[in-house]
Amino acid sequence: MHFYQLISQEEITKGLSESYAKKMYYCDINLSKELQMARKCAISGKGPMAGNNVSHAKNRTKRRFLPNLRTIRITLEDGTTRKIKISASELRTMKKNS
């Protein structure tokens, strides 16, 4: 089952900007075990970024910036529930536009 099949296009586009609604509707997300285990947002695709820790002496060591992910439950059309990981900013945007 794909995430964009869970809700109708009218429900998605209600109150959303056109570009964001298209992003939500055409987001082809496979709700498989690999996606659930990854540190990646199921909607926006945000994942870990690489960067540097910089000390006061300007010594640089590599580090990772992890996304702020939240696990939420969604109800599929057949009545079953699934857990997906969504970044906090996407969750906030979805709550604001609902």
pLDDT in tens, 33-76: 555 578 999 999 999 999 999 999 999 999 999 999 999 998 88
pLDDT in tens, 2-28: 444 444 445 444 555 555 554 444 444
Of residues 22 and 85, which shows the higher confidence score? 85
Residues comprising the chain, all counted:
98
pTM: 0.60
Domains, the chain, ordered by start: 3-97 (2.30.170.40)
User: For residues 86 and 43, is the Cβ–Cβ distance under 8 A?
Assistant: yes
Check whether 88 has a pLDDT greater than 90.
yes
Q: What angle do CA 54, 59, 61 make, to 5 degrees?
A: 65
